[in-house]
Amino acid sequence: MKPKHLSLLILTLLVVAAPFFFPSGFYYRIGALIFINAIAVTGLVILIGYAGQISLGHAGFAGIGAYACALAPEHLGLPPVAAILLGAALSAALAWLVGRPILRLHGYYLGVATLGLGILISMVLSNEAQWTGGPDGIAVPDLGLRGLLRDLGWRVGAGELWYGLAGLVMILGAWLALNLFDSPTGRALRALHGSEVAARTMGIDVARHKLHAFVVSAVYASVSGSLLALMNRLITPDVAGFMHSVQMVTMAVLGGVGSVLGAIFGATILTALPQLLTVFHQYEHMVLGLVMILVMIFLPDGLLPSLMKRLRGRDGE
């Protein structure tokens, strides 16, 4: 069995098996949040892990996806599913337009440029209150899936439904990202990650491939934002905020930015940890910071890849 299929199998088994260990319905909510974060983080694996480009503004695309689901059904009369696609298309278009100039930058400069993009989107969402409802947020219409299932005689709770739906989308996203890894594009991305000069010498169109990775990851973030909005039925500009961008990158780096499974692992830890730490909530940021520092020092590849390497011994990977 190829590692790709093994990864997908493990992921599917975990998603299906986890509910058997849930002591209460609240865990479906945490599960769904983990999956939604994992979708955005999978996009960052393609951008950061495969192509080696940083983005500190991806929450901006999540914001576009989220507000598309809030605004398109009301103003354009689109069904929420079409709004998800519209949000993704808008995010892709914006990423394509903005990505062309800013992806020429490297390192910190690229970080700052993407950060600016994210902050701009979040400012627009906060300030254009007549459209977006301002900082207090805006209600999001119902996806209608629960009603549809009820009509088919199948009653499911909101928690279970979103757990299943977000889990499905996450597995789909992981499947696409894993496929990309072994494709010619994936190999080109990894080559330019290693050395742009060498990649260019080999005949790889560096600018085009970087842009592709940026656009694809923006679509992942947008879908994640859309799902969050539809699940919560309320969205505020926080979804596009700087902290959310940083959170996404942290999840990717913590779990292991080069591997899809690792990034999902990172999303799981950083989503579940604050729930475990409510007893010490004053120290939550300290603990998160400490975890981050320790991982960076002792497990620089991220938690999962480093652990796998340990388990496999010296000849791993």
Partner 1 sequence: MNTHKTLALAALLAALGAPAAMAQIRIGATVAETGPAGALGDPEAKTLRLLVEQINAAGGVLGEPLELVLYDDGGDPNNARTFATRLVEHDEVVAIIGGTTTGTSLAIRSVAEEEEIPFISLAGGIEIIDPVQPFTFKTPHTDRMACEKIFEDMQAQGIARIGMISGTDGFGASMRNQCLAVAETYGITVAADESYAPGDADMVPQLTNIRNTEGLQAVLNPGFGAGPAIVTRNYRQLGIELPLYQSHGVAGQAYIDLSGAENAEGVRLPGTALLIADQLAEDDIQRAAVIAYRDAYVGRYNEPVSTFGGYAHDALAILVDAITRNGEAEPDPADLRDAIEATSGLVGTTGIYSFTAEDHLGLDLSAFRLLEIRTGGWTQVQ
Q: Which two tokens stand for residue 256?
A: 């292991």
Beta carbons within 10 angstroms of residue 165's beta carbon: 18
- Amino acid 18 reads A
- Report if residue 149 touches partner 1, rule: CB under 8 A: no
Nearest-approach distance from CB 279 to partner 1, in angstroms? 7
Q: In the complex with partner 1, which residue's Cβ is closer, 160 or 196?
A: 160
DSSP 3-state assignment of 74? helix
Nearest-approach distance from CB 5 to partner 1, in angstroms? 28
Question: What DSSP line would sit under 186-246, residue for residue?
Answer: HHHHHHHHH-HHHHHHTT--HHHHHHHHHHHHHHHHHHHHHHHHHHHSEE-GGGGSHHHHH
Q: Which residues contact 251 (CB under 8 A, 6 or more apart)?
A: 37, 38, 41, 263, 266, 267, 269, 270, 271
- Per-residue binding string, partner 1, 250-289, x by CB under 8 A, is ------------------------xxx-xx-xx-------
Cβ–Cβ < 8 Å for 182, 67: no
1, 17, 24, 153: which one contacts partner 1 (CB under 8 A)?
A: 24
User: What span, in angstroms and rounded, lies between the C-alpha atoms of 200 and 56?
Assistant: 26
CA dihedral 224, 229, 232, 238 (to 10 degrees): 90
Nearest-approach distance from CB 273 to partner 1, in angstroms? 9
- Report if residue 20 touches partner 1, rule: CB under 8 A: no
Stretch that binds partner 1, among 1-9, 21-29, 77-85, 110-118 (CB under 8 A): 21-29
Interacting positions 91-120 with partner 1 (CB under 8 A): none
45, 239, 253, 288: which one contacts partner 1 (CB under 8 A)?
A: 239
Interacting positions 171-230 with partner 1 (CB under 8 A): 228
Q: What share of the chain is helix, strand, coil (3-state, %, to 5)?
A: 80, 0, 20
Nearest-approach distance from CB 315 to partner 1, in angstroms? 21
- Amino acid 138 reads I
- Report if residue 238 touches partner 1, rule: CB under 8 A: yes
- Per-residue binding string, partner 1, 159-178, x by CB under 8 A, is x-------------------
126, 185, 224, 268: which one contacts partner 1 (CB under 8 A)?
A: 126
- Per-residue binding string, partner 1, 282-311, x by CB under 8 A, is x-----------------------------
User: What span, in angstroms and rounded, lies between the C-alpha atoms of 273 and 279?
Assistant: 11
- Report if residue 127 touches partner 1, rule: CB under 8 A: yes
Cβ–Cβ < 8 Å for 227, 87: no
The burial of 279, by beta-carbon neighbours within 10 Å (0-12 exposed, 13-18 middle, 19 or more buried), is given as exposed
- Report if residue 236 touches partner 1, rule: CB under 8 A: yes
Nearest-approach distance from CB 198 to partner 1, in angstroms? 40
Nearest-approach distance from CB 180 to partner 1, in angstroms? 29
3, 13, 16, 26: which one contacts partner 1 (CB under 8 A)?
A: 26
Stretch that binds partner 1, among 23-31, 42-50, 190-198, 202-210 (CB under 8 A): 23-31
User: Packing angle between helix 3-17 and helix 158-182, nearest 10 degrees?
Assistant: 170
The binding site for partner 1 (CB under 8 A) comprises 23-27, 29-30, 33, 126-127, 129, 134-137, 139, 158-159, 228, 232-234, 236, 238-239, 274-276, 278-279, 281-282
